[in-house]
A and B are shown apart, each in its own frame.
Chain A
Amino acid sequence: MSIAAQQFLEAAGSITRNLRHRGLIQTALRKYEAARDRKKSAFNDWSAARQSAAETKWDAINHLDTYLVEFASKLEARGTKVHWCPTGPEARDTIRGIIRDAQAKCIVKSKAMTAEEIHLNEALEKDGFEVVESDLGEFIVQLRQEPPYHIVFPAMHLTRDEISDLFERELGSAPTREPEELTMIARRALRRKYLQADVGITGANFAIAETGMVSITENEGNARLTSALPRVMVTLLGIEKVLPKLEDLALFLPLLATAGAGQTVTGYNTLYGGPRQPGESDGPTEWHVVLLDNRRTELLADPEQRDALHCIRCGACLNVCPIFRNVGGHTYGTTYSGPVGSVITPHLRGLQDWKHLSNASSLCGACTEACPVKIDLHHHLLQNRRNAVGDAPSWIERLAWRAHAFVVNTPALYQFAQEVGRIVEPLRKRLQGTPLDPVQSWTRTRDLPPVAGESFKEWWRNRR
């Protein structure tokens, strides 16, 4: 078992017993579901919208070679520097180089899961830079020195009281339970940083090939300040973020807001087309767009699971996933948690180390049903399981399944197994609660139904 798998099992074991966590997350996500359903009903035809979005992303991903070049050349035509980075370390080094060249000291950053993916903050802090997260949720988890709990709601696992305590401890503010007051405390701390910062780092929601623009969606206006005030702007994005046309946003912006947060449209939707142009009075003087592959092209080469690159990181699959709702975001130990994380992490970080996430699913399909771009998420988990066995089967498990096949395929043996089940049941019951119970993984929390005195097949035979 991989270290990641052991950590997952341990973390899941303790958090699933934490009823406070369970209550908090269930309540928050039930509210999300109600809001999402209200907003979904505003679409004329939600399933047609999903289908259309899936087809647009299919086109974008299957023609990534042309759309990416179009996107980059349009950006460069207006003075943006585009950097192509095959790996995480190369993207990190590129951004470090930009920051060194800018002789920057303070860096402000808006929300970017791609930056989490390449561990950008740690690298920059190691270089001695101060990096301040400007998204409220990210700001909170940064103060706690934690990774984001959820790709859209990074601090959803915390209560107002916990946030107030944190601000009191870290920022010296007075305790309060009012969300507005807590926001103002963060705002006062952040406004100073925007003015001090030499470099602003952002992520991206969509990359528009047709016009060479980056679309950023947010609710707090922090990404606009992060991009507008510092003299150098850096945007880091995965190559799968491409949309072919500007008009595609007419569908994708409300789709993202509805599926992701139960909103009609997110509060701020900004299009970035280039750095400050001649004659303009504001905006960054330099804009660097860093395009990250980091094994996305390997996923692109897999025809069965290529649609996982459709993902717009809305978090809808996390929100509806009963596994996520019980184990929470940190248990996964990955940048991308929930169903989409379980699907893509094995591709991004190695199947054998991360296959346990594909097994840690009841394959209920709620994720696939919720996905606004129709990624076949739960079936990809099944394929990951098959691929993991194909690459490195467990001989014990293989033998067990062969034995199972032999027993169920041989009626006399199958009947004998039932008879054995009946005979050993009293003994097994006595062993229940001890480590000798052969089915303790079931019986530790659940009763096991006994083998019936007369099986259905026996009844059927006797009846005739």
Chain B
Amino acid sequence: MRPNDRMNITLFIPCFVDTCFPEVGRHMVRILERLGHRVTCPEAIACCGQPAFNSGYWDEARQVAGKTLHHLRDAEAVVIASGSCGAMLKVFYPQLYEGRPEAGAARALSERTWEFSDFLVNRLGVTDLGARFPAKVTFHDGCHGLRELGIKSAPRRLLEKVRDLELVEMTDAETCCGFGGTFAAKFPMISTAMGEVKCASAADTGAEYMVSNDSSCLMHLQGLLSRQGKPLKTIHLAQILDPQ
């Protein structure tokens, strides 16, 4: 790597990853640093504002998003540890600020923001991180990453390069797991049924792990699997990719 290729990466660890899945963030820091980049994690911001936004409270969402927008304004590249929060920054901030003074800043941030796997493959051009993970896995496409950001092949290209890992596709890879943010709490019965369909589809492949690039889906799915005593486990992509 030439010195000029060294990037200043601002890693945005969303609130629920920070609180419940800090290991996902730690793996991301190690992976990006090992590739020779400088990583910073802004401590002043915690949330992207999506929960209020999805609930229809756009004024309250802007109270959160405004701070994030401000603190990320000078970032060279923002890498975000969730497809869903990534979609909030990339797709929904420009809508949230349409016709407002911050609209330009929101569009500029959108262009500089990357979901983690997309950043590795399509910005850095890296697929082989030297990892080894001897297990059969299946990949769950988080909806926001898949349909709002159009990320389908990046995580699979990364997994294909992992030593001793066997990737099998499930029938319902692209079907929503049923998390959906506040939906999971407002309509728990529907959310649970959707999660059960997803877990059954993943289990049918015979995989030991269901991998995703979105901890929010995995929080819901692991919650279901643990409660039902199922052997299938969930794991974040970054945990597999970091050779430790």
Residues of A within 8 A of B178 (CB): 322, 362
Cβ contacts B175-204/A at 8 Å (1 or 0 each): 110111101111111111111010000000
Which B83-108 residues sit within 8 Å CB-CB of chain A?
none
Which B44-61 residues sit within 8 Å CB-CB of chain A?
44, 46-47, 49, 51-58, 60-61
A451 touches B44 (CB 8 A): no
CB distance from A339 to the nearest CB of B (A): 12
Which A390-422 residues sit within 8 Å CB-CB of chain B?
390, 393, 397-398, 401-402, 404-405, 408-409, 411, 414, 418, 421
Nearest to A33 among chain B residues (CB) is: B171
A457 touches B183 (CB 8 A): no
Query: A173 within 8 Å of B by Cβ?
Result: no
Which B11-50 residues sit within 8 Å CB-CB of chain A?
13, 15, 17-26, 29, 41, 43-44, 46-47, 49
CB distance from B51 to the nearest CB of A (A): 7
In the assembly, what is the distance between CA of A176 and CA of B192, in Å?
A: 37
Cβ contacts B68-81/A at 8 Å (1 or 0 each): 00000000000000
Known contacts A385-B55, A402-B60, A456-B13, A446 near B192 by CB under 8 Å: yes
Stretch at the interface among B111-119, B125-133, B220-228: B220-228
Count, chain A residues at interface, CB 8 A: 63
A364 touches B143 (CB 8 A): yes
Known contacts A405-B63, A409-B63, A459-B26, A447 near B174 by CB under 8 Å: no
Query: B233 within 8 Å of A by Cβ?
Result: no
Residues of B within 8 A of A461 (CB): 43
B25 touches A401 (CB 8 A): no
Residues of B within 8 A of A457 (CB): 13, 18, 41, 43, 46
B224 touches A363 (CB 8 A): no
CB distance from A463 to the nearest CB of B (A): 8
Query: B148 within 8 Å of A by Cβ?
Result: yes
A451 touches B227 (CB 8 A): no
- A residues within 8 Å of B by Cβ? 9, 12-13, 16-17, 22, 26, 30, 322-323, 325-327, 359-366, 368-369, 382, 385-390, 393, 397-398, 401-402, 404-405, 408-409, 411, 414, 418, 421, 439, 441-442, 444-452, 454-461
- B residues within 8 Å of A by Cβ? 13, 15, 17-26, 29, 41, 43-44, 46-47, 49, 51-58, 60-61, 63-64, 67, 143, 146-148, 171, 174-176, 178-181, 183-195, 197, 219-220, 222-224, 226-227
CB-based closest 10 A-B pairs: A362-B180, A446-B223, A385-B56, A364-B176, A389-B56, A401-B60, A365-B147, A364-B143, A456-B22, A456-B25
Q: Can you add 12 more A-B contacts, CB < 8 Å, to A386-B58, A456-B13?
A: A323-B190, A326-B190, A326-B193, A326-B194, A365-B148, A366-B176, A405-B49, A405-B63, A442-B223, A446-B192, A449-B223, A456-B17
A-B contact pairs, 11 of them (CB 8 A): A17-B189, A326-B197, A366-B147, A401-B57, A401-B61, A402-B63, A442-B223, A445-B227, A450-B20, A455-B18, A459-B22
